[in-house]
Structure 1
């Protein structure tokens, strides 16, 4: 089974699906390769909107695959992995077209960072999401802390980051993290949400997106993400983090 699926629809939506439901759609190096491939395809002039979702109905993305990344012990080893994924999420954040995360299931840790890199988030009812990295004695490390601080009111962004908790769909909507709660089919709901955008010429969409990209550039977003990655790498090396990961994986 291919770990990811890329589909292009006639209405201009390019959909990237993490296809690892048995691993709660956790990110490994194959998923990183797939996301990079999809982002390159998203630059095609026929694509008006880039969307991301997960396979199944349990998880959008559970963050980094701890079974794959548990072997990373030192600050330098962690930085290499975190930096690669953060570069991809910055590329997603800066994509010159609207982007949307379709939260088909739980988005935790790095999964919440992936969702925060998108312009919009549409969630199925009863979905939960949160930046739970603090429970593993680390911070966000893929740029999510920086992204969410640009998207939400400061107090709401701080709440989500510092509480390291999961929030239900209504709470996520109240915080401003989710823009729409879907009743039925998630992809169909997203088409309804994006309907008016998809009517516009792609160059109009790009021109408006560039207004925000220029703002983020002036705010030094890329440099702030690098600092976020470095802070997480430092904490990653600490014994406190390794103990929490071992506890989570059931390793004695």
Structure 2
């Protein structure tokens, strides 16, 4: 397909089954391994609003189309907003969407196949749980294009894997295999095929709906500590200080890969 047609085909799809309480959010952008465009940002926002109103939902599986999770932000879009002012606006907008996703009473599960890098890894981190295919890789590799995570990921990563390990990962842009991610608590399960993944997900359909959603409320409460807003403000300030810097612009101009 011509590139202009692929651009408009890039989308985020949502489906739900009220009987099982299982939903699916699928990122589909064939031109860039499911890279996120501005249009996909707004579609995700609409889906999150719909999730908030879904009172019979149990689990939502967040995944990419065609065997790849998400390679981060679309390079063409990133070049257009590569300045501190637009970076600040993107940080507030996308960070707010992911915060809202994490605060819904439905348990969100990132099903990671292929690569989850940069913004893709931030999307996975915003989910409550992560399931990685045995051949998948995940990396917070923003340092390789001279920036830091910008969608609220840093504090979640530090809390999940610990200060020392998270700092090393962010500074070096480390890419982890599925088993490495499981060993440090970044992945809840490593699965080999659909059958194994579906069997794991099926467990969430066998528990009382009220108990499931109450457990998620407890998790939401843990996220809302007294310092959460201050941490987000610091992360935003650091991100804006790197976004659109000479080193960042040079990396974008070179079309530098993050892996």
TM, length-normalised to structure 1: 0.91
> 1:124 aligns to what?
133
Deviation at 1:49, TM superposition (A): 0.9
- Aligned equivalent of 1:192: 199
Cα separation, 1, equivalents of 2:148 and 2:83: 16
Contact kept? 1:86, 1:225, Cα under 8 Å: no
TM-score (norm 2): 0.89
* Residue segments in structure 2 that go unaligned for 5+ positions in a row: 1-8
Q: CA 1:19–1:169 in structure 2 vs 1: closer, same or farther (change >3 Å)? A: same
Mapping of 1:100-115 within 5 angstroms? 100-115=109-124
Counterpart secondary structure, 2:61? strand
Q: Deviations over 1:5-43 (max 9, x none)?
A: 111134111110001132111111111122112212222
Q: Residue 237 of structure 2 corresponds to which residue in structure 1?
A: 230
Which residue number in structure 2 is paired with residue 13 of structure 1? Answer: 22
* Displacement of 1:169: 1.3
Matching residue of 1:80: 89
- Give runs of aligned pairs for residues 13-32 of structure 1, distance below 5 A: 13-32=22-41
> 2:183 matched to which residue of 1?
174
Please say if residues 109 and 131 of structure 2, whose CA atoms lie closer than 8 Å, have aligned partners that are also in contact: yes
> Where do residues 203-242 of structure 1 align in structure 2 (5 Å cutoff)?
203-242=210-249
5+ long unaligned stretches in structure 1: none
**2:8 pairs with 1:37:** no
- CA distance in 1 between counterparts of 2:82 and 2:163 reads 33
Tell me which residue corresponds to 1:157: 166
Distance 2:64 2:21 in 1: 19
- Relative to 1, partners in 2 of residues 1:219 and 1:148: Cα closer, same or farther, differing over 3 Å? farther
- Superposed CA deviations along residues 217-245 of structure 1, whole A, max 9, x for unmatched, are 12432442232122111111311111111
Structure 1 runs of 4+ aligned residues shifted over 6 Å read none
Q: Report if the CA contact (8 A) 2:161-2:186 is conserved.
A: yes
Contact 1:48 / 1:97 at 8 angstroms: preserved in 2? yes
Q: Note the aligned Cα RMSD (angstroms).
A: 1.8
- Number of residue pairs aligned between Structure 1 and Structure 2: 247
Distance 2:176 2:182 in 1: 10
Say if 2:107 and 2:128, in contact at 8 Å, map to a contact too. Answer: yes
